[in-house]
Structure formats: C-alpha cells, structure tokens
Amino acid sequence: MAGAGKSTFVQRINSYLHSQNPPTPPYILNLDPAVTHVAYEANIDIRDTVNYQEVMKQYNLGPNGGILTCLNLFTTKFDQVLDLVEKRADSVDYVILDTPGQIEIFTWSASGAIITDAVASSLPTVVAYIIDTPRTTAPATFMSNMLYACSILYKTKLPFILVFNKTDVQPHGFALDWMADFEEFQAALASHSGTRDAEGEPTYMNSLMNSMSLVLDEFYKNLKTVGVSSMTGDGIKEFFEAVDASREEYEKEYLPELEKARQRRDKSLQEVKEDSMNRLLSDLAIDREKNPTAAALDRWDPD
C-alpha cells in the first residue's frame, strides 16, 4: 500500500546485494512515474520515458489517472524493456521492479497485468507485498492488508511473500499471532474500541471482519511471511531466503501451469483456424451447387 516503504525497501535490498562478497548488483526498474526521488540508481526508469506532470496537464487528469496513463504509455513499449532485461538476465541474479503504491492502479489495470504476465513468462518471478507494520496494529487495517494481499495473490497466481516492514518501530509478532490463530485476531478485535454500537451489539464491520478472519485462515497457511526493517536492514537476509524458496515454487508450480496455458491457447487458435477453413470450404461447395455454370468457369482447363 502507499506509504508502506516500498522504495526504501528496494534501496535497502539494493544496498544489501552490493555489500555481498562478491557484490551481486541487481537490475532495477522504477515503474512509479509520480515519485520525485528514489534512493537507488534505476537501470530503467519510467520517468525517462513519460513525464507525469505533462501527462496530467495534457489529458486533464488527476494524480491516479496520470499514473495509470503513464503506465499505459510505457506498456506500449514494454517489449523493448523486456528485451533489455533478458539481455542482462545471465549477468545478474536479481531483477527488481518498484511499482506504484496505489494497488488498484497497477494490479487491476490492463497495463499492470501486461507487465506482470510479460515478466513472469520470461523470468522466475516473485511478488513481495510490503506492509506498514505500525499502521497494521489496528485490526481493521490488518484485515484490509490481508484482503489486498489475497486479491493480488489470486490475480497473479505467482509465488508471494508478505513483507512486514518497519519492524524497528513495531515488531510484527502480533500479526503472525493473528494469522496463526483466528481466535487471537477475534480477541484483539473485540478489545478494540468502537467495535460495538450504541446498544452494545457488534457492529457490521466487526461482524464482517470476524467472518473474514475465518475465511482467510486457509489463505494464511500457504503464505510466506518475513519481518524487515528498511532502515536498519534487519530481516533482509531472511527475505532473500524466502525469495530463493519462492523461486523453487515458481519452477515447480507456475512454469508447468504456464506451459499448459500456452498449449491450451495454441490448441484453441488451431481449432479456430480449422473451423474457419472448414466454413470457407463449405461455403464454396454450396456456391458451386447453386451456380454450376460459374463453378465450371472457375475450373482451369489447360487445353
């Protein structure tokens, strides 16, 4: 979510990879056209291609509309971007995409889906969802984050890591407890102020979150989580361990499904071609039956 510290997190993992022996510098793409400053040197920066402020002025757009339009314009040339990334794939261990913080703009837009699918079909891909841990101590905010995470996971169907950021300010142990035991979350929800109406009955929001905690219980069981601090660097090593495990998941689960999808698509296209050809031949046969004179003239007579 916006303000969770994604760009600072990218800067931290960039610094971590440069500090390894030997250094393993990543290849970084900044896809946020509205950011004014990034603390790392991006190899490819969307701001070099499109001007966010000019796009808003030219098309009379607001902030979110400007970001979305910039992404759409950038996506029209993303095949060239992917070519550059693939050329460097053998010489780098990690390619990092820093996306806009507005989840709906990237995850649920056509341009975001195109970029995600293009990268995932070419390189082992892992989605890291960054959570602002101090803001998540409120049960309602925690549940909102989990629902966002769940929607992104099932939208992309890629290996997924929940990254609880800013653990130097607020440890993420409470979140792990809520994920491991829905009764812990329900107890926290019950003790939180404002969860009952004037008559002492649970509010609609309280009841909804109680129900959602039960629904998401299965979702939590298959989720990798890690707590990090982008300021101090704590947890970054554990994050990369989760990334390596997720890469194995990509190769074992995502790639076979991708190949099956390609085979289904190729089969479907072949069936469409064969159907079109059969209809064409059928139409020609009907025409010849209705007009045998014209059909005879169509025949080529070598004499």
Residue 258 is predicted with a pLDDT of 81
pTM for this entry: 0.83
Q: Are 78 and 50 in contact (CB under 8 A)?
A: no
Residue 206 confidence (pLDDT) above 90 = no
Q: Are 167 and 235 in contact (CB under 8 A)?
A: yes
pLDDT band at 280 (very low <50, low <70, confident <90, very high): confident
pLDDT band at 262 (very low <50, low <70, confident <90, very high): confident
Q: Are 111 and 74 in contact (CB under 8 A)?
A: yes
User: How big is the CA angle at 214 (ends 209 and 219), to the nearest 5 degrees?
Assistant: 105
Residue 208 is predicted with a pLDDT of 85
CA pair distance 235, 237, nearest whole angstrom: 5
DSSP E strand stretches across 206-291: 224-227
Q: Which two tokens stand for residue 116?
A: 């995600």
* Residue-range domain boundaries for the chain: 6-246
Quickly name the fold that domain 6-246 has.
Rossmann fold (3.40.50)
DSSP E strand stretches across 10-90: 27-30, 44-45
Question: Position 279: which residue type?
Answer: R
Query: pLDDT for 114-154, tens place per residue?
Result: 999 999 989 999 999 999 999 999 998 999 999 999 999 98
What would the mean pLDDT of 206-222 be, rounded to a whole number?
A: 85
